[in-house]
A = this chain, B = another copy of it.
Amino acid sequence: MRIGKLAKLSGLSRDTIRFYEREGLIASVPEEGSSNSYRDYPEDVLERLDVIGKAQDAGFSLADIKKLTGFWDGQNQDFDGELFLDEKAEEVRKNIERAQAFLEMLEATIASLKVDPRG
């Protein structure tokens, strides 16, 4: 699909999609059978963009995401993939725990508000 459709479906801007492509997080091919310069984004890029969003929410930087997707895509880099993944998973677990602890504070604040507005 073309970038406009991908932008609409993913909820990201064209600029962001191009930015991710420049960074090597996603890839496109020249549109088939047309002499323009338009790029064609495979369907699975949509899923990839979704993963990128979730990874960011989990605390991954784009550099981290690039390592991970490069790993998925079979380009085993010159680093210990298993160690990287183990360490990152641990980080994510800690992040989630901390976010949950914070959520509880937030919910307690809300609850106290409902009992006694602005107490």
Contact = CB atoms under 8 A, between A and B. Distances in A.
Contacts of A95: 57, 99
Interface in A72-112: 72, 76, 81-82, 85-86, 88-89, 92-93, 95-96, 98-103, 105-107, 109-110
A54 interface: yes
A106 B81 CA distance: 12
Q: Is the interface of A mostly helix, strand, loop or mixed?
A: helix
A86 B103 CA distance: 11
Contact of A113 (B51, B82, B103, B109): B82
Interface of A: 51, 53-55, 57-60, 68, 71-72, 76, 81-82, 85-86, 88-89, 92-93, 95-96, 98-103, 105-107, 109-110, 113-114, 117-118
